[in-house]
Structure 1
Amino acid sequence: MKILIIGGGGVIGQKLALALARTGHVGGTPISQLTLADVVMPGTVDAPFDVQTRTCDIANPASVANAITADTDLVYLLAAIVSAHAEEDFDAGMKINLFGTYNVLERCRTLDTKPMVILTSSIAVYGGEAEDPLGDHSYPNPQTSYGMQKAVGELLINDYTRKGYIDGRAFRLPTISVRPGVPNRAASSFMSSILREPLNGQEAICPVTGDFLHYYLSPRRCVENLIKAAQLQGADIGMNRVMQMPGKVWSINQLIAAMTNVAGSGPARLIRWDPQPEIKRIVTGWRWDIHADKAERLGLKADLSFEDNIRYYLEDDRP
């Protein structure tokens, strides 16, 4: 099996590559080659099979065509610009998040080999007048340009699968926390930084109140679910290839309490509460009463506790 990870330089892309390198197979099918592609050259991983790295700009059809070869069996499409960036720069969001997805699917269509394509979507597709609880069959009513672009990608995955061009599936990711690295331009970035920075001995700013509720998943569990996704049979998924990836709802106060339970009281004292209206405007439009019945039925899982999320960061990512 030859696998391409577009967005292979990002947090989830790198973790997915490492997990595939450890297992060496997907559902019992040996991996013969793994290619990591990103807009800048991604880091490589050690594996018992061939690993290649390359640049790929999904906004450029020629670049996409060079990355997706005729013998590519599985494409993970993780690349995107994040929520606040897409809201600030509408043109960039459309070019990368919407037309970038289209370029990838169009390239797969021309191959006539029906590769599997796994798209990471977002809970940002929910919102507006869609009624709680939300889930696989809720109609998308995004209230951000980023959410709109992801919702269009979901429709494309379904239609290209219906037409027989790809074997597609799309997963609406919860907010992934605790993410390693540094803050990015995602409106949700603080949901990792208020934990990551204090665990690293640094001050962090929380722009919302402690009772703010949200829907979370750890990076480790997200990667496990993405690998499981490639093992699902199309007949078991059904006509709608889009589903919610499982997560759990916690408040900011509960996140901080979990950190304290695992790491002691010191890190929480490094959090500075500083309301930021623009961030609050975006994130308070996000929904959290979300259910992932279909994915759970198919074997995908949420974290058991947010203490686990903290432990995974300490084990996998803390410098």
Structure 2
Amino acid sequence: MDVLITGGAGFVGTRLARELLGRGELDGRAIRRLVLADQVAPPPALALDARVETRVGALLDQCATLRDEPFDAVFHLASAVSGECERDFELGLRSNLDTTRALLDALRAAGNAPRLVFSSTIAVFGNDARHPLPPEVNDDTLPVPQTSYGTHKLMCEYLIADYSRKGFIDGRSARLATVTVRPGRPNGAASSFFSGIVREPLAGVESICPVAPAVRHGLSSPRRTVEGLIALFEADREHLGSRLALNLPALNVSVQQMLDALEAVAGRAVRDRVRFEADPAIVRIVDGWPTGVIAARAAALGLRPETSFEHVIAAYIEDNAGDAAALRGLPGRGA
């Protein structure tokens, strides 16, 4: 099996790649080749695997050559994120909508109808004053995005569904909750603070939370996100029917509950490194998002969220056990 991951050098992309390489197979077929396409190179250790090939550069520019190498499986993760799309409208259109259309056309030209999983988002659901969102959105909630990012993702969902209806691909779209805790530096997503208020305090650094403690949102651990992407790929098309987009499971928590969990796992001193300072631009975006997620169709595939946010934090600490800088804020680690 030949597999393509767009955004393959990103956080979720590299975790997905490692998981697939570790399994050695996907949907019962051995992985012969894993192509990682991104604007930057993947981590060197990942690229050392003989099955891995890299494509570095803007995905929009790569699509002309990708049509000449048929793939059996595609995970389309590449995307400009929410904050970037709000600041730069043209960037969002080019990176999300134009690039996805070009990728789909490349796969259509290859002629072998590969199976594709698209990383969509719960930001396709938006709060409208006349038709407010329910406390928790489900698979039947009407998508009414209130950001350019959510709009682009919903448009791509429809494109993927139509290309699938035509038999050009076998597509399905995973509506991801915010993936937390992400390591490294903050990215351009409006949701970046959901990781920052855990990651920075654990590293011994102050973090600013731009929204109120009562703000609630659906979160997914990196492990559960990768698990969901693979399970959706392996799902029987008969199970999905013509509704090819579904919510992935989320842990629905408030910022207050996140900080309480941080204190329970790491202590009061770590929690106290979080300071609240409202950012009107972030508040406006987050206010338009769902406050919780129900994922009944994903549950039917055997998928579940983490049982508590304490488990999410503990998994982050375990994953970064060898990174002294990431955990130097923990008691006894030198902070």
Shift of 1:138: 2.0
SS in 2 for 1:185: coil
Q: 1:83 to 1:302 in 2, by over 3 A?
A: same
**2:273 paired residue among 266, 270, 273:** 270
Give distance in 1, aligned partners of 2:69 and 2:47: 25
Tell me what 1:29 maps to: 29
Tell me what 2:212 maps to: 209
Of 260-269 and 116-125, deviating more is 260-269
Contact 1:24 1:49 in 2 (8 A): no
Deviations 1:79-130 (A, max 9, x none): 0111011011111100111111111111111111000111000111101236
Which segments of 5 or more consecutive residues in structure 2 lack a partner in the other structure?
A: 324-335
Q: 1:69 to 1:136 in 2, by over 3 A?
A: farther
Give distance in 2, aligned partners of 1:112 and 1:138: 34
Identity of aligned residues (%): 40
Of 37-46 and 155-164, deviating more is 37-46
User: Quick one: which amino acid aligns to residue 195 of structure 1?
Assistant: V
User: Quick one: which amino acid aligns to residue 40 of structure 2?
Assistant: V
Tell me what 2:121 maps to: 122
SS in 1 for 2:316: helix
Deviation >4 Å, runs of 4+: 46-49
Tell me what 1:304 maps to: 307
Which segments of 5 or more consecutive residues in structure 1 lack a partner in the other structure?
A: none
Of 223-232 and 172-181, deviating more is 223-232
SS in 1 for 2:146: coil
* TM-score, length-scaled by structure 2: 0.91
* Matched ranges for 1:171-190 at <5 A: 171-190=174-193
Contact 2:133 2:290 in 1 (8 A): no
Give distance in 2, aligned partners of 1:180 and 1:233: 33
* Matched ranges for 1:232-247 at <5 A: 232-247=235-250
**Aligned-CA RMSD value:** 1.5
Tell me what 2:53 maps to: 52
User: Quick one: which amino acid aligns to residue 307 of structure 1?
Assistant: E
Contact 1:24 1:48 in 2 (8 A): no
Give distance in 1, aligned partners of 2:48 and 2:142: 41
Shift of 1:160: 0.7
Deviations 1:121-152 (A, max 9, x none): 01111012364242222222111111100000
